[in-house]
Amino acid sequence: DDSTAHGINLTFDDGPEPTTTEGLLEILAEHKVKATFFFIGENVKRYPELVLAAHKAGHTVANHSLTHPFLPGQSLRRLEREIDETNRLIDEITGHTPTLFRPPFGVMDARVAALLEARRMSPVYWSNVASDWLPIGAPAVVKRVLRRLPEDKLIVLHEGWSIAAQSLEATAEIIREVKKLGLKFEPIR
């Protein structure tokens, strides 16, 4: 089995967000691709139906903290709340406690690592980032992602109303291009 034949991880940060999550779920369904959604707890509270939709569609629903703070320097109590409250909210909706955690800004310290270990959770970073939280346009996002494939298999894209059109357009195009390359997607489990 050729290892390039599988294993591209498509991940989305900062949702759920009505302007992007619904469209992403449609695009993913249309292309039969499973992804991993790193949801922010405050957004989970606001849009539980989007969390349930992602879960029911077979995507991995993961933890991206409660309020998206820069974690180093926060009190231990705050760190626990950022992880545990988001886990609780997601579990209430899906019946599953997340096992994956993406630290906001990709930065965490030893205290966060210890909290994750105690909860049997794994941190997930990324290897392929397109800076798509900026309004750089879908073609630029696609180009930046494709340039790093197939070596950098862990793609991170972002949700958000201000970049909704870019996010949806780039996702659809990345999926088409990755499939043309003969690569396959799989969610992180």
Q: Which of 136, 150, 185 is nearest to 28 (CA)?
A: 185
CB 56 within 8 A of CB 49: no
Is 55 an active-site residue? no
Q: Choosing from 13, 14, 59, 132, which is the catalytic residue?
A: 13
Is 158 an active-site residue? yes
Q: Choosing from 14, 59, 132, 158, which is the catalytic residue?
A: 158
DSSP, collapsed to helix, strand or coil, labels residue 129 as strand
Residue 13 neighbours by CB distance under 10 Å: 24
Take residue 105 and report the two structure tokens written for it: 């800004």
CA angle 96, 97, 103 (to 5 degrees): 135
Distance CA(118)–CA(142), nearest Å, equals 37
Residue with tokens 């949702």: 15
CA atoms within 13 A on the CB side of 142: 15
CB 43 within 8 A of CB 16: yes
* Catalytic residue positions, numbered: 13, 158
